[in-house]
Amino acid sequence: MEWSILEQYGPALLRGFGVTVLCWILGTIFGMALGLVIALMQRYGPRWLGWIIQAYIEVIRGTPFLVQLFVLYYGGPLVGLRLDALPAGLLGLTIYGSPYFAEIFRSGFRAVPHGQIEAARAIGMAEPTIVRRVLLPLGLVSALPALVNFSIILTKETVILSIITVPELMYQVSRMSTETFRYLEANLVLALFFWALVETISRVGRRFEARITKHLIERT
């Protein structure tokens, strides 16, 4: 082991980790947002839209992220979609995550008892209000563990962005390895950073879950 190289590469690694965290946060937020829109369109949209969405979900889920990213980054310019590495990477993550998030939301919505929706309809509440006041808050509670779980999976998918030269942690680690041949050290650093990130996410997720389910659990 030769840890002294960290002095030289430390700043680059930290910058890389910063980019990784940024990609993860934005990719998760955008992916969740798109997934939510998809799940709502599936629930309330016309049937033909549902079929299109189903096809989208099957295609994205059925192909590797690496391939999707290549198609987007190298195939995009052929149809006039010219993106820099970082925006392309974020768009890729968003698209890749959206069908999984959509399925998680869909099952969360299904877990909301129909009677609670009917009760809202019976007093004359409009459907968008029902979504906002009843379906979303209750559906999100059921979906939360799966949402946290998939966001953790997404952290590790960010390493693939290095392939299209997004300067995130994997990219910096590869550079360090090829320049110094210190593969083991470089990858241990990578592992350590990811472990810290994932541990933080799951702790925050658990705390958040405990808070929002506080009133839903029967304690008589």
Partner 1 sequence: MQASAVDIRKVNKYYGPFHALKDVDLAIPPGKVTCLIGPSGSGKSTLLRCINFLEEYDSGEIRIDGQLIGYEAPGRKMSGRKLREMRRSIGMVFQQFNLWPHMTALGNVAEGLVRVRGLSKAEAQARAAEALAKVGLADKMGNHPARLSGGQQQRVAIARAIAMEPRLMLFDEPTSALDPELVGEVLNVMKTLAGEGMTMVVVTHEMGFAAHVADQVAFMEKGELVGVDSPGRILHHPEDPRIQGFLRTYHERNSF
User: With binding defined as CB under 8 A, does residue 124 bind partner 1?
Assistant: yes
**Among the residue ranges 23-31, 78-86, 88-96, 129-137, the one whose residues contact partner 1 (CB under 8 A):** 129-137
Residue 46 beta carbon to partner 1: minimum distance, rounded to whole angstroms: 15
Query: Can residue 209 be called a binding residue for partner 1 (CB under 8 A)?
Result: no
Stretch that binds partner 1, among 8-16, 76-84, 125-133, 155-163 (CB under 8 A): 125-133
Q: Does residue 134 interact with partner 1 by CB under 8 A?
A: yes
199 is a site residue for partner 1 (CB under 8 A): no
Nearer to partner 1, 67 or 122 (CB): 122
Looking at 61, 82, 110, 121, which residue binds partner 1 (CB under 8 A)? 121
Q: Does 138 bind partner 1 (CB under 8 A)?
A: yes
| Contacts of partner 1 in 140-159 (CB under 8 A) | 141
Q: Is 211 in the site for partner 1 (CB under 8 A)?
A: no
Least Å from the CB of residue 117 to partner 1:
9
37, two tokens = 């829109």
Q: Which residues of 176-204 are buried (b: 16+ CB within 10 A; e: fewer)?
A: bbeeeebeebbeebbeebbeebeeebeee
Question: 80 in the Ramachandran plot: left (φ > 0), alpha (ψ -120 to 50) or beta?
Answer: left
Q: Nearest approach, Cβ of 145 to partner 1 (angstroms)?
A: 17
Is residue 210 near partner 1 by the rule CB under 8 A? no
Positions in the binding site for partner 1 (CB under 8 A)? 113, 115-116, 118-127, 129, 133-134, 137-138, 141, 215-220
